[in-house]
Structure 1
Amino acid sequence: MFAEYERALARCDGPLDADTVRVYASRVRQYLAWLAAADVDETVEDDPLTEPDARDLAARAYRVHLETVAKRRPATVNAHLTAVDDFYRRRGLGPASAERAALPPAAAPRALDERDQAGLLREAARASARDKAIAFTAYYAGTRIVEISRLDIDDVRLPARGGDLIVRYGRNGGFRAVPLHPNLRAVLEEWLGERAGWKGAGTSRALFLNRRGSRLSSRSAHTVLRAIADAAGLPLGRDGAFTPRVLRHTAGQTMARQGTDAVVVADLLGLSLETARRHRPPTEQDRRRAIQRLTIDE
């Protein structure tokens, strides 16, 4: 059954990127291994792989196992249940009715401060036209690394004024049009002019090419951004100041601090509204100001 699921994931050319496919496969394997080893007969009378009621009971029992035996954090428990839901959808049963673990209030995602932003953009401006365009796209459009690698030249719309960057394959198949910041527009125009002379420019639709003339991979785009951050003197890695995702978070937090509505941030970055709100959690001053603004009829 797991082999069946793996084959289904391998055929998936839609909303799931390679990393998500790998993680889903691992989590479903763990779930099926738990089902095979666990004694769930007392609570699950029918087959949890074919019967909806048994599916729900098994998923709820698995959540308890993750929380109490495996000692997983709430966010990890919910991520496992999401993968289990994907497994059941592909079996035609639909997602399990299992309540998600309550999450503690989430801190704002890590972002660069103004000094580090300036340093990184300054270093990006010194890079090649392609690498500069990659860095500016990540910062000024808030795109994910995998979204950058999937961009085509037709996704850059450059009318006489303004312009848009079209993200056709966002997370969960999302489509969005991001207005071009003037700095990003200028850099993309520069890159498109240089791209015409690159190997593969006449045959590949990819916006960003590698030296062989093929589409630049997500891994290579990641390497480009890390090299720029390293040259800017930013600590790298999970515990450092910089990971490529930090540029996206920086864009979201900058907009939030400037008063941009969370709905707009969610739309521009391809986020859920709940996730977008994390970019600027309400402060004590925000709460007090909200109460003081209440209208009182005397």
Structure 2
Amino acid sequence: MTETLEQTLTAYDTWLDQQSLAEKTRVAYRLQVHQYGAYLAQRAASTTDDPLRTPFARDYAVRDYKTYMKTERKAKPTSVNLALAAIDHFHLLIGNDRPQVLRESLPAQAPRALKPEEQKALLRAIERTSSVRDKAIAHLLFYTAIRLGECAALNLDDLRVSARRGVVIIRSGKGDTYREVPLNAEIRETLKVWLKERNKRFSQPTDSACFLNLKGKRLSARSIDLIIRRIGTDAHLELSAHVLRHTCLTNLVRRGSDLVLVAEIAGHKRLETTRRYSLPLLQDREDAMVALHIEY
């Protein structure tokens, strides 16, 4: 079996080099598979079953290796799961089904959100932004938790803004779902300024998109992402639209907003997804209270 194992590992190395994987993934898979191969070689003398070809032997071997990683190598859950993913990939070459082995449960933690002091820095950077369009985009993402693609897909008739009320309509969110998200006074004001400038600069635009580029065409999701990252750089933050979404939802949940309402605003189908935002972050109670009212 040892000779067959060595031949299979060599074949895997050749096959792996041909796969469309990131270089880091390729390196990690190669290391994990060879470590698993060394484990199989050591236990070859104690079993006559072939863990590469026989389904039940395959599953037993991977389960035992998972236990070995946890008890002998003291591997963390993320390392165990990486090894299992690499072993799954290894079995693709052999032509086997995926080993029936459960992944390790990872410690629950809240999605990454900006801390209160980081939110202050961000809002100040937004105020320093000379582009009223970029300012409107940043405020919209920060205060409504809409997704990057949803922001790029907005049309003029998806915004309803008045002096006292406002709403943004997401007509086809994740899972092709519809939802309406209220707009606070700050977003309404920045949107009014942008829409006024939009009408002035593009008196007869051919595109109904809410946010336009210099040519009067719909601003792409990539361009919006670059805008947010540029503002983040000014605030000395590593920023993305997804971080702004997480920050908004975290603020809502920790302010005591009803989880069902927050789930509706976020467009979550499962309430468990929204509950993640109530999990601990690396901030103390005073920081959490500051997040209720951000002065910048």
Which TM-score band applies after superposition, normalised by the shorter structure?
0.5 to 0.7
SS at 1:171 equivalent: coil
State the one-letter code of the partner of 1:229.
G
> Pairwise CA RMSD of aligned residues?
4.0
Instruction: Report the TM-score when normalising by structure 1.
Output: 0.60
**Is the CA contact (8 Å cut-off) linking 1:195 and 1:201 kept in structure 2?**
no
1:268 pairs with 2:265: yes
1:225 pairs with 2:222: no
CA distance in 2, matches of 1:177, 1:155: 9
CA distance in 1, matches of 2:108, 2:257: 20
**Is the CA contact (8 Å cut-off) linking 1:200 and 1:214 kept in structure 2?**
no
CA apart distance, 1:105 = 3.7
CA apart distance, 1:201 = 5.1
Structure 2 residue aligned with 1:278: 276
Structure 2 residue aligned with 1:14: none
SS at 1:140 equivalent: helix
Query: 1:194-238: CA deviations, max 9, x gaps?
Result: 11123485321100001111100011000001111111122x2xx
SS at 2:200 equivalent: coil
1:152/1:103 Cα in 2 relative to 1: closer, same or farther (>3 Å)? farther
Within 5 Å, which residues of 2 pair with 1:122-271?
122-127=124-129, 128-199=131-202, 202-234=205-237, 236=238, 242-271=239-268
Query: 1:236-285: CA deviations, max 9, x gaps?
Result: 2xxxxx333111111011111111122221111112311111111279xx
1:107 pairs with 2:136: no
State the one-letter code of the partner of 2:258.
D
Structure 1 residue aligned with 2:74: none
CA distance in 2, matches of 1:173, 1:100: 31
CA distance in 2, matches of 1:206, 1:116: 31
**Is the CA contact (8 Å cut-off) linking 1:141 and 1:180 kept in structure 2?**
yes
Query: 1:5-29: CA deviations, max 9, x gaps?
Result: xxxxxxxxxxxxxxxxxxxxxxxxx
Deviates more, 1:120-129 or 1:135-144: 120-129
Structure 2 residue aligned with 1:17: none
1:274/1:201 Cα in 2 relative to 1: closer, same or farther (>3 Å)? farther
Structure 2 residue aligned with 1:11: none
CA distance in 1, matches of 2:195, 2:52: 59
* More RCO (CA 8 Å, sep 6+): 2
Unaligned runs of 5+ in 1: 1-38, 44-59, 81-97, 237-241, 284-298
1:73 pairs with 2:71: no
1:259/1:157 Cα in 2 relative to 1: closer, same or farther (>3 Å)? same
State the one-letter code of the partner of 2:279.
P
Query: 1:70-115: CA deviations, max 9, x gaps?
Result: x7739x97xx9xxxxxxxxxxxxxxxxx998563342101111111
Query: 1:30-86: CA deviations, max 9, x gaps?
Result: xxxxxxxxx99966xxxxxxxxxxxxxxxx9xx99xx89xx7739x97xx9xxxxxx
CA distance in 1, matches of 2:138, 2:267: 18
CA apart distance, 1:116 = 1.2
CA apart distance, 1:152 = 0.6
Structure having the higher helix fraction is 2
CA distance in 1, matches of 2:141, 2:244: 6
Q: Among the aligned pairs, what percent are the same residue? A: 39
CA distance in 1, matches of 2:101, 2:258: 30
- Total equivalences in the alignment: 213
1:73/1:200 Cα in 2 relative to 1: closer, same or farther (>3 Å)? farther
